[in-house]
Chains A and B, each alone.
Chain A
């Protein structure tokens, strides 16, 4: 599904190489985790895949079902089925959460040639999915992420994911700032979406989240490259010994 080949990325404004040849293949139905120390390029990878400004791809490719992601506008990537759950969900004062969600759902449906969801139908679906994430009606009425707690913001990301039903989901440190209960809610939300046609790329610092969202494959990223790939046991190893051994081994 997602096929990243030799991806090199630098910052647009300064001559700083962040990604130095990332290779990654995520198949349909799979859950991959990327772990790595601060500054290894994990978040950059998620931003570049979703189309954020400020980065220059100097080499390599990234494809979603064979389509060149890097040539698409962010909204087209979303319509093609890519979703990024932000590490820091953005506050948008003045735009109601419900309005935002409905605009997004209908924009994607429209670009795929599907009919827009009626207000009634949308409301029914959103209420049911929000309930599962313990998101109350008041949160839906408030402006997007404004005044939300850390946990509420992350749950809101998962609600968006559940409503948009993307095929390739990237979770960028979705566990950061979450207490144990909130993490479980978020993980349950993610697990409910797991199916044979959908893939996940879970970026995290800690093995903790991976107890709840069991990955098929774990990658260790350092200095802009994936330096080691293994099974879930790799995450346990990081938790126990830290990154130092792995990094030393890679040099």
Chain B
């Protein structure tokens, strides 16, 4: 079916200034993504999966401006963690600020550096999971990313790597518009932790494709930038092999618009996938978690834990789906999405979905929204805890289930401190 003219016009306007690389190993995948995008068109508010979140700022030809957040003299997140650092400034790799990328058991390449080659292992990965993740729900912004991403990391892990790889996304230009595309292959029995931190740009579109092979483990912790006016559309596409584990946690504080999509296929048997998020917003803030988990293998476990703290007109959106395919027996699926409203002006929109074609499964879901428990607040205050501290304590308690998805205690503590800082600036 041909796209309506307005959709064609919008796509033409957005892609007019973008170059589709014609050579190199990724060129066929990019051309394919472009043709898929042309068939889908860019999203708009009439699309089912964009009903609650207006994608317009993500699809305009020019990125909306976003002033850079001033963190003052605050210590950057994950600073004390021993890690391999890759720094990107408005999407451009900063070699001088980054660490040496040679590390045993892991191969790290930059998309920009290897793009001209004819052969690269990532040829079999780039855009593959993204393409597969387009069904049954179209994700045009991910196809846009595959076609036009200018940078990204290509990581192949063959051992249990203990040092996390940290991607640091600095944002220095008010009008930057950045697309990063990462491909990660965690080979059989291997292990990797990936940290992501920072806003990356005024407008950021990212795709992270992760293939977790049999018996492999992948742990992902990310903190999105705090620039109030920034816009971000991020996508995680993951495939899990037999007995593998995938865990992803995202902290979002501030941001005019954040759409975090996660598309996870529990392909093998006995695999586990956990996706969690803690989002806090005050004022001009729309945060959208859109998750699609497919249980293909047997005896797999999936967990979705999303918590949002909203005030002053902030909006939270959750669209989470568990699809249990025929034959995916003994599936254990869990999904919880909750919001804590710090005032009467905020909004939480949730759409949990379960679609089950196997008969021996356990799936539960829940969604709530509410205010701070006044009884608990009084109890704390009656013990001498000042109002603001008592509120912070209760907000952190509300977020605790999501934060507990972080395995590393030092990283979890860092995340808690960041939240504490936000609460002290944005508490009642």
Contacts and interface: CB of A to CB of B under 8 A. Distances in A.
B378 A53 contact: yes
B5 interface: no
Given A53-B374, A90-B375, A95 B393 contact: yes
Contact of A94 (B374, B381, B386, B397): B397
B389 interface: yes
Contact of A104 (B384, B399, B400): B384
B376 A92 contact: yes
Interface stretch (A9-17, A19-27, A70-78, A211-219): A70-78
Nearest to A90: B379
Nearest to A79: B384
A100 B381 contact: no
Nearest to B395: A94
B420 interface: no
A75 B374 CA distance: 14
A1 to B, nearest CB: 18
A83 B380 CA distance: 12
Contacts of B387: 73, 75
B323 interface: no
A207 interface: no
B375 A75 contact: no
A52 B378 contact: yes
A51 interface: yes
Contacts of A111: 384, 386
B372 to A, nearest CB: 11
A53 B389 CA distance: 18
B422 interface: no
Nearest to B374: A53
Given A53-B378, A78-B381, A94 B401 contact: yes
A164 B383 contact: yes
A84 B382 CA distance: 7
Contacts, number: 79
B403 to A, nearest CB: 10
Nearest to A143: B397
B398 interface: yes
B398 A94 contact: yes
B394 interface: yes
B379 A86 contact: yes
A93 interface: yes
A103 interface: yes
A103 B394 contact: no
A162 interface: no
B399 to A, nearest CB: 8
Contacts of A108: 383-384
B397 A103 contact: no
Contacts of A79: 384
B379 A92 contact: yes
Contact of B376 (A52, A73, A90, A99): A90
A76 to B, nearest CB: 8
Nearest to A88: B375
Interface string B381-415: 11111110110011011111100000000000000
A75 B398 CA distance: 22
Given A73-B387, A92-B397, A100 B380 contact: yes
A107 interface: yes
Contacts of A52: 378, 382
Contacts of A89: 379
A204 interface: no
A44 interface: no
B380 A104 contact: yes
Contact of A93 (B384, B385, B397): B397
A152 to B, nearest CB: 16
Given A53-B374, A73-B387, A107-B389, A78 B382 contact: yes
Given A100-B380, A103-B393, A75 B386 contact: yes
Given A53-B374, A92-B379, A94-B400, A75 B385 contact: yes
A124 to B, nearest CB: 20
Contacts of A50: 382
Nearest to A74: B381
A104 B397 CA distance: 16
Contact of B384 (A94, A99, A107, A143): A107
B159 to A, nearest CB: 35
A94 B401 CA distance: 8
Interface string A48-59: 001111000000
A160 interface: yes
A155 to B, nearest CB: 16
B181 to A, nearest CB: 37
Contacts of A99: 393
B428 to A, nearest CB: 13
A77 B381 CA distance: 9
Nearest to A93: B397
A51 B381 contact: yes
Given A94-B396, A94-B397, A103 B385 contact: yes
- With a 10 A CB-CB cut-off, give which of B374, B384, B389, B394 has the most chain A CB atoms: B384
Contact of B382 (A51, A103, A143): A51
A19 B1 CA distance: 75
B305 to A, nearest CB: 13
A75 B381 contact: yes
Given A90-B376, A104-B384, 17 more contacts: A50-B382, A53-B374, A74-B381, A78-B382, A92-B373, A92-B380, A92-B397, A94-B394, A94-B400, A94-B401, A100-B383, A100-B393, A104-B383, A107-B383, A107-B385, A107-B386, A164-B384
15 contacts: A51-B382, A73-B381, A74-B382, A75-B384, A75-B385, A75-B386, A86-B382, A91-B376, A92-B376, A103-B389, A104-B385, A107-B386, A107-B389, A108-B384, A111-B384
Q: Which 6 residue pairs are nearest across A and B when measured between Cβ atoms?
A: A94-B397, A78-B384, A104-B383, A108-B384, A74-B381, A90-B379
